[in-house]
Structure formats: structure tokens, C-alpha cells
Amino acid sequence: MTKADIIKDIQDRTNLNRDVIKIIIDSFMESVKENMSKGENIYLRGFGTFLLKERKEKKARIITKNETIIVPPHYKPFFKPAPEFLKSVKTNLIIKSN
């Protein structure tokens, strides 16, 4: 599903203007990116959490050059779905597969 598909789905459910929906979705995504860049986690009750996980320094190899490099410590974003979200997905996927 793409962003355009999500916009169309929301438009079908709400009868809101497509341009308004696009602005809201773009603003949401920008807000998530900005706040996570500041080191904040995003909690959406009933949906899930956007988390930052710290990755420690490690050694890595560049095989083509046969050299070892040090990858500095850094953060990676992760999404952890809420229990209700997981249950809904598991239940719906089981029903569809039968």
C-alpha cells in the first residue's frame, strides 16, 4: 500500500478533500521525523510506538578492499506495534488465508 492508496482509503471513509488528507498525512510524517531526530519516541495508544534504538560501535569489513572499519555508535528507528494492532493483523490474516 502506498501513500496515495492510504489517501484514497481515507477519502473513501471520510469524504474529506484529497488535498486536505494529503496535508494531514504529510504533516504527521514530518512531525514524526522531526521529533525522532530530536531523540523522542512517538507513542500512539492502540496503534504502536516509534522507537529509537541505540546501536553500539562495531567493526565491519569492506570485503572488496580487504579492510576493517569502525562503524560509530548510532540510532535506528523501529516500530513496535501495540498488542491490539498485532491481534488484529494476526486474526485478519488467518481469516483471509482460509
Predicted confidence at residue 18, as pLDDT, reads 96
Predicted confidence at residue 91, as pLDDT, reads 84
Question: Which residue numbers in the chain have pLDDT < 50?
Answer: none
* pTM for this predicted structure: 0.76
Predicted confidence at residue 93, as pLDDT, reads 74
Paired strand residues for 43: 49
Q: What's the residue count for the chain?
A: 98
Q: H-helix or E-strand containing 45?
A: none
- Decide if 10 contacts 16 (C-beta within 8 A): yes
The Cα–Cα gap between 64 and 47 comes to 43
